[in-house]
Structure 1
Amino acid sequence: MDTFCQYSRLFVLEASAKDFVLALGEHIHIRTQLGDGRKITRPFTPVMIEAEDGIVRPHLFIRLYEDNEQSEYFRKLEAGARLMVRGPVTTNENLSRVFGGELCVLIAGGSGIAPIFQALQFAHINEKYYLQRIILIHCARDSSGLWLEKNISEFSQEMPQLSYHKFLSRETKDDVITSNTIVGQRLCLDSLKRVLLLNKGMAPCKRRALVCGPGTFNGDVTLWLGNMEFDDVQAL
């Protein structure tokens, strides 16, 4: 378990790719039991990446909130703790269709990067998508939310048409700012248009998008993309 900051935890589950596999669009349900006996079940999407021991394991990034009972549960978990997990659970959406256009735009808000990264992994293991034009935009509170940045950068070495952009709403003293990172600004319609213009994403073509984040974030981004006449927009 890693503690990035007071707002998040990263859990590495004791499993490997041999006994834990999630296909594109699949996630798990985690049930937490509170001190008064009540149980809360929520969906989460672990991502399969290499752990410190060199084995590919499920990594679960949890955003913590103040005055939230489930966040308090995760905040107090220690290494070796057991989780009640059910899955895989499949979404009704065909997420692979986002790669069916000339331009694919993936937009993540906060911990929504996990399902978006899952989609990017799907494209990475399918060579027919290596030359797919993909714009990935990740909006996070601070650099601690960019925990998949290294993995995405490695993908870009084999996927030359992948463009990765980050928006951080605040800057902390420990931030290491890399290229294509905008600090102190949230994603808005104008900044989204600038990213698309930078990558020739406003030119007439078949454009598809996949969006994953909090409800308000999804609603705003879906509206903006609709106003820009995207052919297909899916929101998770």
Structure 2
Amino acid sequence: MTRSSSPPAPRSRTSGTTSTPTYAPGLKTVDDALEIRGRVFSAFEMAELSTDLAERDHRLTSAIVGGGPTGVEMAGQIAEIAHRTLPGQYRHIDPRRARIVLLDAVDRVLPTFDPRLSAEAERRLLRIGVDVRLAATTGGPDRPGRADPGRPRPHGAGSSRDLRPRRGHEPGPATRGGSGRDSRRAVAGRVIARRLAGKRLGKPFSYFDKGNLAAVSRFSAIADLGRVRLSGAIGWFI
């Protein structure tokens, strides 16, 4: 019998809060992306059907937990949808009134990027209507009050979902901590499978970090490529 070997699917950290997937789905798989897309668009549909102004405001409020590249990009895309794509599509609501809140426990968005690029990304988020809240924690959906229907819907994103800083923990570059680590795991799995099958090993694993990139909104992105740092439209075209 021949067994195929494949690396384990990536999983989002939940920090021990068992109800996190219910209130804040991660963004690691295609299914996660489809779930978030469905929640975002259904929120506008439910707001359109509601006659209660408070309920409408609730439906039009989204909270993204994690100010890393994925969280920043998600906040920017929801803002783009609300301000550019959906206006004029509804009779009773104005999608431009949607409130997008981006939270992170650290003191700046995109902490793995150069501080000047982080500041530029934050300014861009503010210009497109994102409410950026730094040095902020959620407490987790299992804590008292997190299931309050009057609170915004949180969306977990990327590797910054665990907002509680650990003692002695410093965030590392997103690329080395994410895709580089996943690549090493995938190669390790293939090496073990080849050894068990008695096959020759391939070339040694080598990973080159080309830098970090985050698309904040349409025609606006930041790129931290070592000595080269770009922002705005130039970064977006990279």
- Report TM bin, short chain: 0.3 to 0.5
TM-score (norm: length of structure 2)? 0.33
TM-score (norm: length of structure 1)? 0.33
Q: Which has the higher helix share?
A: 2
Between the two structures, name the one with larger relative contact order (CA 8 Å, sep ≥ 6). 2
Q: Which has the higher strand share?
A: 1
